[in-house]
């Protein structure tokens, strides 16, 4: 596609419910990143994929968070048993991921998650 | 992983040149320096990237000294629309990587 697409743009859920956030990267981009941004804060790294593999999952805040990527394309970030502190904007970015030079991250507009 | 330090906020006036400096003392040999701009309710967008010396594009310049332990983003003649948060990102981009953003600099441009 023309850019990174994230859905839904907004999600309101009740505490304890599970949510799935979707990211469609730019076609051909092999690297994909998830970040969390709380209100007024910077970007908190969660996880990245090179192809369908996630070499480092240490950024995930707890075992309630998981992510997967299939077909070197779409990625899903799942939060189980949501808590109020999970409320934030979840941003996805993709990059070519195939060069030793500096790369550009292309971000989606994010999913605003509100846990009531 | 290279940690970055930036001023939390800066104020400027329309038409002035703004310089935002980022410190990254433990930058690695393979690391590139990239700056992003973020407006409210949007994802960050790429501004400029460099490895050493000076890089210039249509919107900004990036100055990197020989030791590469800092970098300065220069925005010429800012306008109100340049009010945003600016992030310095230092990292190795080979095959992706754990790219960690700093806290960013909130730039406020006043009339």
How open is the CA angle B85-A48-B35, to the nearest 5 degrees? Answer: 25
**In the predicted model, what is the mean pLDDT of chain B?**
91
- Interatomic CA distance for residues A19 and A13, integer angstroms: 8
- Which residue of A lies nearest to B105 if distances are taken between CA atoms? A42
* A54 vs B: CB within 8 A: no
pLDDT single digits (tens) A75-94: 999 999 999 999 999 999 99
Which positions in chain B have a beta carbon within 8 angstroms of at least one beta carbon in chain A?
Answer: 30, 32-34, 36, 41-46, 49-51, 87, 89, 93-104
> Is the pLDDT reported for residue A100 higher than 70?
no
Chain A neighbors of B87, CB-CB under 8 A: 42-43
* pLDDT digit string, tens, across residues B82-101: 999 999 998 876 545 678 88
| φ, ψ at B34 (rounded to 5°) | -130, 140
Q: Which of A40-44, B36-40, B88-92 has the lowest mean pLDDT?
A: B88-92
pLDDT for A98 = 59
Task: Say whether A30 sits in a helix, a strand or coil.
Answer: coil
According to DSSP, residue A53 is labeled B
pLDDT at A92: 97
User: B45 contacts in A (CB within 8 Å)?
Assistant: 107
- Identify the CA nearest to B96 among candidates A25, A22, A61, A90: A25
Q: Please state whether beta strands B105-110 and B9-13 pair in parallel, antiparallel, or not at all (unpaired).
A: parallel
Per-residue pLDDT of B41-71, as tens digits, reads: 899 999 999 999 999 999 999 999 999 999 9
Q: List the beta bridge partners of residue A19.
A: A79
Cβ distance B96 to A31 less than 8 Å, yes or no, reads: yes
Using alpha carbons only, give the angle A21, A25, A30 rounded to the nearest 5 degrees: 120
Are residues B89 and B34 in contact, defined by beta-carbon separation less than 8 angstroms?
yes
The average pLDDT across A72-76 equals 93
Q: Which of B41, B43, B100 sits opposite A45 (nearest CB)?
A: B100
Give the nearest chain B residue to A99 (CA atoms). Answer: B94
Cβ-nearest to B101 among A43, A48, A100? A43
Which two structure tokens, joined as six digits, stand for A64? 């309630």
CB pairs under 8 A between A and B: 76
- Residue B70's SS3 state is strand
């Amino acid at each position: 596609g023309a850019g990174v697409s994230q859905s839904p743009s907004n999600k309101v859920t009740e505490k304890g419910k599970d949510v799935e956030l979707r990211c469609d990267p730019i076609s051909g981009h092999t690297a994909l990143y998830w970040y969390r941004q709380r209100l007024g804060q910077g970007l908190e790294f969660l996880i990245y994929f090179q192809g369908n593999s996630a070499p480092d999952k240490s950024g995930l805040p707890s075992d309630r968070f998981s992510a997967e990527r299939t077909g070197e394309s779409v990625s899903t970030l799942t939060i189980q048993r949501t808590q109020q502190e999970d409320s934030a904007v979840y941003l996805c970015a993709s990059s070519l991921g195939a060069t030793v030079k500096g790369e550009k991250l292309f971000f989606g507009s994010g999913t605003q998650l509100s846990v009531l | 992983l290279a940690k970055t330090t930036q001023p939390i906020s800066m104020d400027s006036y329309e038409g002035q040149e703004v310089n935002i400096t980022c410190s990254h003392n433990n930058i690695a040999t393979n690391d590139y320096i990239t700056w992003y701009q973020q407006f409210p309710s949007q994802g960050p967008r790429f501004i400029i990237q460099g490895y050493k010396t000076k890089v210039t594009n249509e919107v900004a310049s990036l100055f990197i000294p020989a030791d590469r332990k800092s970098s300065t983003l220069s925005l010429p003649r800012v306008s109100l629309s340049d009010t945003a948060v600016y992030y310095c990102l230092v990292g190795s981009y080979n095959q992706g990587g754990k790219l960690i953003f700093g806290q960013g600099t909130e730039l406020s441009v006043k009339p």
